[in-house]
């Protein structure tokens, strides 16, 4: 088990290097160290000497991929790509354009992000699965057809609409909750209710359909027929057998998401003024702060890979046939 | 007048040619024809298909661009058209709806309004200052005040209603006549060969949808001569015009992205599944890596880079249209490059399965080249997966455009798109009373398209997915 996990983590390294290569290519080819120096020093009266000294100061005076001046292993090591990547692997993201430490910013903003993403995820999961189980009980009936129609309609509405309509109705017209904002602790709950509710509601359509199809597929299997032949009621079959066996496909889709919850939601956070990682990213994109965007890309990839590994591990808990080796 | 072919125009017409080719080949294959017959047999799918083709029609009309040169603009009307548009680049759709584009107001006005939405300062002859709602320049100018606006609209609804009835009657007559011609030549053969006559398709639903669409369009078209049916935006532009112009952007992003994604997914997915070994390892590594980067961030990063390139090389682009068009094209490319991984993984798994089947083994032992085997035996058996993935992706891409525009990495701000409409209108939410019509129009147009696409893709999946055939 332990060996397997370590092995999986080692497999993750080439993927992360690949991610680095892509982001590095994207950012450094266009936004060269010269451009960065010019942006940092201000556009006025930048002499080549000033740019050169800025580059030396910040460690950007090395070639991109291959250092012809160095010898031995240093030929590859003393390059911008390796130096930058090593920094990223140590979670040292450097400074943002405003001069703040990106790593510190990220740590600070993870909390607010999670305070929205985690409840949305858990409540959404429970709601979707319960609704799907309920609708599977009524499969084939008119209620089933109508509910699925409604689900398609919910799915077809842009997420932006839910947010805007929710803000207008609950905040502007009815004044139930504040329109946006954030504070720490229990005081902040009033800010979180609306985004969480909207997040859950917007996901119901797709979620319900997805879980329903999983359960329906289980329902058509032989063990269900056997259980029914024994005289078990629909409800007992559903909760005793189908739910348990349906866990496996559910886990495949769900566990991957859990680590990425840390990243927050871009749109939710910026609409509701939550100082999390999502709004951090949006602000960085709008201000063209490449350092932050690069850090977020790397962080997102790391979290996704952790999610993949967690998925594999979680299989062993729900499916005794799966043995990790 | 000279035609101007923007890059996306060329691509979308290429796609139309490909689609026509596909339809021709479908007609030849008995099995595929039957599948499509079953897809369209559902009334919901039929209506959805008609709505989708309506949207496609608008997108295509908006994808033929031409330019009036100054010497040719002889009439006063034409020269005013050119003057209003900075470069004079117009599309066929613009020419069909000239009044919508040119009749701009000063600022916000509500749907069917006769006066501006907010008061402005006014000086009368004596020099006294007062706050008044100024009358609109175009909206409701015929209105004399003898009856209410509602009555006026009701009366004016009669003409589009009669018009659409007439159009439907003509279409129905052509349909009947066509069927008659088909059967008269070989009456007995027709009914023997077609044990399921064509009339089994849900024509009722089809005609109802068609009637509603034609009626809606003619209603908007006719009334827009008298009112701003969906209001005007901050700079006085007609919202209906913006919403209609946005159709092209939405449909193009949905369609052309698949054009970029498809070759990548097909080639890489099939070669990974068929050749296995190191090819498989490399391709798997490639898509796992791409997949592990959060989609929005990858798109954002790429678009940021593109913005830098564009601003550094502004000399590359002739006009604002060309720049906006290239940006749209680039966005489509990025979306395509980031969204092929899912389909690729599916195709790889399916190819792995198919290449174990006896007929592939037989083909191999006959000494067929891998190329022929893939072309003749594997690709045709993957087509249902491809089709399902394409129709499923379409609605997601249309919705993604709005989100990306909100994040600031979508299409060019000068391009008409639902995302840009929402983004601009969002800033006016705090206004009291609210300016709701821009948001409403963008969401309504988007919702209709996405709903139709979702319903259609549902049906395609039910018919084509072997796992759901029970």
Contact A96, A290 (CB under 8 A): no
Q: What is d(CA B2, CA B17) in angstroms, rounded to the nearest whole number?
A: 23
CB pairs under 8 A between A and B: 119
Contact A78, A62 (CB under 8 A): yes
User: B2 - beta bridge partners?
Assistant: B67
B158 to chain A, closest Cα gap in Å: 31
A213 to chain B, closest Cα gap in Å: 9
Is the CB of B309 less than 8 angstroms away from the CB of A30?
yes
Query: pLDDT by residue (tens digit) across B331-384?
Result: 999 999 888 998 999 999 999 988 888 988 898 899 888 889 888 888 888 888
Residue-level pLDDT at B226: 82
User: A101 - beta bridge partners?
Assistant: A95
Contact A223, A147 (CB under 8 A): no
Q: What is d(CA A28, CA A30) in angstroms, rounded to the nearest whole number?
A: 5
Q: Residue B301: its chain A contacts at CB < 8 A?
A: 23, 26-27, 293-294, 297
Residue to mutate among B312, B406, B429, with most A CBs inside 10 A, is B406
Q: Residue B296: its chain A contacts at CB < 8 A?
A: 266
Q: Domains plus CATH for chain A? A: 107-287 (1.10.3720.10)
The total number of residues written for chain B in this structure: 470
Is the CB of A160 less than 8 angstroms away from the CB of B309?
no
Dihedral sign from CA coordinates of B445, B446, B447, B452: positive
Residues 6+ apart with CB under 8 A from A204: A124, A127, A128, A131, A151, A154
Tokens for A272, please give them: 């509701």
Residue-level pLDDT at B46: 92
Cα A241 off chain centre by: 31
User: What chain A residue is nearest to B445 in terms of C-alpha separation?
Assistant: A157
For residue A152, give the nearest of B308, B422, B451 by CB distance: B451
| ipTM for the predicted complex | 0.87
A70 to chain B, closest Cα gap in Å: 31
The backbone torsions φ and ψ at residue B232, rounded to the nearest 5 degrees and listed phi first, read -130, 160
Query: pLDDT by residue (tens digit) across A272-309?
Result: 888 989 999 888 888 878 888 888 888 999 999 999 88
User: Across chain A, what does the average pLDDT equal?
Assistant: 84
Residue-level pLDDT at B83: 46
Is the CB of B285 less than 8 angstroms away from the CB of A18?
yes
A11 to chain B, closest Cα gap in Å: 10
- Residue ranges of chain B with per-residue pLDDT less than 50: 72-74, 76, 79-86, 470
Is the CB of B293 less than 8 angstroms away from the CB of A297?
yes
Tokens for A256, please give them: 């991957």
Q: What is d(CA B292, CA A305) in angstroms, rounded to the nearest whole number?
A: 7
For residue A152, give the nearest of B301, B302, B454 by CB distance: B454
Instruction: Kindly list the strands in the beta sheet with B89-91, ordered across the sheet, starting from the edge strand earlier in the chain.
Output: B2-4, B65-67, B89-91
Alpha carbon dihedral A243, A248, A249, A254, in 10-degree steps, equals 100
Contact B355, B420 (CB under 8 A): no
Is the CB of B446 less than 8 angstroms away from the CB of A282?
no
> pTM to 2 decimals?
0.89
Q: How confident is the model at residue A147 (pLDDT cuts 50, 70, 90)?
A: very high
Q: How confident is the model at residue A48 (pLDDT cuts 50, 70, 90)?
A: confident
Q: What is the mean pLDDT of residues A95-108?
A: 84
User: Across chain B, what does the average pLDDT equal?
Assistant: 83
Is the CB of B403 less than 8 angstroms away from the CB of A22?
no
Q: What is d(CA A151, CA A212) in angstroms, rounded to the nearest whole number?
A: 11
Q: What is d(CA B322, CA B5) in angstroms, rounded to the nearest whole number?
A: 10
Is the CB of B399 less than 8 angstroms away from the CB of A15?
no
Contact A236, A228 (CB under 8 A): no
Residue-level pLDDT at B441: 92
Q: What is the mean pLDDT of residues A30-42?
A: 70
Dihedral sign from CA coordinates of B26, B27, B31, B36: positive
User: What chain B residue is nearest to A168 in terms of C-alpha separation?
Assistant: B429
Is the CB of B289 less than 8 angstroms away from the CB of A15?
yes
For residue A285, give the nearest of B407, B454, B467 by CB distance: B407
């Amino acid at each position: 088990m332990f060996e397997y996990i370590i092995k999986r983590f080692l497999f993750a390294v080439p993927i992360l290097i690949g991610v680095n290569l892509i982001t590095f290519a994207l950012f450094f080819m266009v936004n060269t160290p010269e451009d960065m120096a010019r942006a940092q020093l201000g556009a006025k009266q930048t002499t080549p000497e000033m740019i050169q000294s800025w580059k030396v100061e910040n460690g950007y005076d090395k070639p991109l991929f291959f250092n012809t001046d160095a010898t031995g292993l240093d030929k590859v090591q003393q390059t911008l790509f390796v130096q930058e990547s090593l920094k990223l692997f140590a979670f040292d993201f450097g400074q943002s354009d405003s001069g703040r430490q990106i790593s510190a910013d990220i740590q600070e903003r993870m909390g607010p992000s999670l305070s929205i993403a985690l409840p949305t995820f858990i409540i959404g999961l429970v709601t979707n699965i319960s609704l799907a189980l309920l609708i599977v009980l009524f499969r084939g009936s008119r209620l089933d057809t109508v509910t699925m129609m409604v689900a398609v309609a919910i799915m077809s509405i842009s997420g932006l609409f839910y947010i805007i309509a929710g803000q207008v109705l609950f905040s502007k017209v009815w004044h139930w909750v504040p329109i946006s904002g954030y504070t720490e602790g229990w005081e902040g709950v009033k800010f979180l209710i609306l985004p969480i509710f909207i997040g859950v509601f917007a996901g119901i359509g797709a979620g319900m359909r997805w879980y329903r199809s999983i359960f329906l597929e289980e329902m058509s299997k032989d063990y269900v027929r056997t259980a029914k032949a024994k005289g078990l009621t629909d409800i007992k079959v559903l909760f005793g057998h189908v739910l348990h066996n349906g866990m496996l496909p559910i886990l495949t889709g769900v566990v991957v998401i859990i680590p990425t919850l840390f990243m927050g939601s871009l749109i939710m956070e910026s609409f509701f003024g939550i100082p999390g990682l999502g709004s951090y990213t949006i602000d960085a994109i709008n201000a063209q702060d490449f350092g932050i965007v690069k850090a977020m890309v790397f962080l997102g990839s790391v979290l996704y890979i952790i999610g993949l590994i967690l998925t594999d591990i979680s299989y062993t808990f729900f499916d005794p046939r799966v043995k990790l080796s | 007048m000279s035609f101007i072919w923007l890059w996306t125009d060329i691509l979308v017409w290429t796609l139309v040619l490909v689609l026509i080719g596909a339809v021709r080949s479908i007609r030849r294959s008995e099995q595929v024809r039957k599948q499509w017959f079953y897809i369209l047999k559902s009334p919901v799918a039929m209506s959805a298909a008609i709505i989708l083709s309506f949207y496609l029609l608008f997108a295509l009309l908006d994808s033929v661009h031409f330019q009036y040169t100054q010497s040719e603009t002889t009439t006063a009307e034409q020269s005013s058209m050119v003057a209003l548009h900075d470069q004079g680049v117009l599309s066929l759709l613009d020419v069909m709806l000239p009044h919508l584009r040119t009749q701009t107001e000063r600022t916000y006005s509500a749907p069917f309004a006769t006066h501006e939405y907010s008061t402005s300062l006014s000086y009368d002859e004596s020099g006294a200052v007062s706050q008044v709602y100024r009358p609109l320049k175009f909206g409701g100018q015929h209105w004399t005040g003898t009856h209410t606006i509602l009555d006026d609209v009701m009366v004016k609804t009669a003409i589009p209603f009669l018009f659409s009835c007439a159009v439907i009657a003509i279409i129905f007559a052509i349909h009947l006549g066509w069927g008659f011609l088909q059967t008269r030549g070989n009456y007995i053969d027709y009914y023997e060969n077609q044990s399921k006559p064509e009339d089994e398709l849900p024509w009722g639903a089809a005609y109802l949808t068609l009637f509603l669409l034609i009626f809606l369009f003619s209603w908007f078209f006719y009334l827009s001569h008298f009112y701003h049916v969906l209001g005007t935006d901050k700079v006085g532009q007609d919202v209906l015009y913006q919403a209609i112009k946005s159709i092209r952007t939405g449909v193009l992003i949905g369609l052309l992205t698949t054009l970029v994604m498809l070759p990548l997914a097909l080639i890489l997915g099939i070669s990974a599944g068929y050749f296995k070994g190191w090819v498989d390892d490399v391709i798997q590594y490639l898509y796992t890596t791409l997949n592990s980067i959060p989609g929005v961030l990858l798109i954002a990063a790429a678009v940021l880079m593109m913005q830098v390139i564009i601003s550094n090389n502004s000399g590359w682009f002739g006009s604002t249209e060309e720049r906006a068009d290239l940006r749209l094209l680039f966005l489509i490319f990025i979306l395509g490059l980031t969204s092929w991984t899912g389909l690729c993984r599916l195709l790889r798994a399916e190819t792995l399965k198919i290449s174990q089947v006896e007929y592939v083994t037989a083909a191999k032992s006959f000494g067929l080249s891998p190329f022929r085997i893939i072309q003749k035996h594997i690709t045709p058996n993957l087509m249902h997966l491809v089709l399902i993935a394409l129709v499923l992706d379409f609605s997601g891409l249309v919705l993604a455009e709005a989100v990306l525009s909100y994040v600031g990495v979508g299409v060019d701000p000068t391009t008409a798109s639902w995302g840009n409409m929402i983004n601009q209108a969002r800033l006016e939410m705090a206004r009291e009373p609210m300016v709701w019509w821009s948001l409403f129009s963008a969401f309504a147009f988007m919702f209709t398209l996405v709903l139709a696409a979702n319903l259609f893709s549902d049906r395609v999946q039910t018919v084509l997915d072997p796992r759901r055939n029970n």
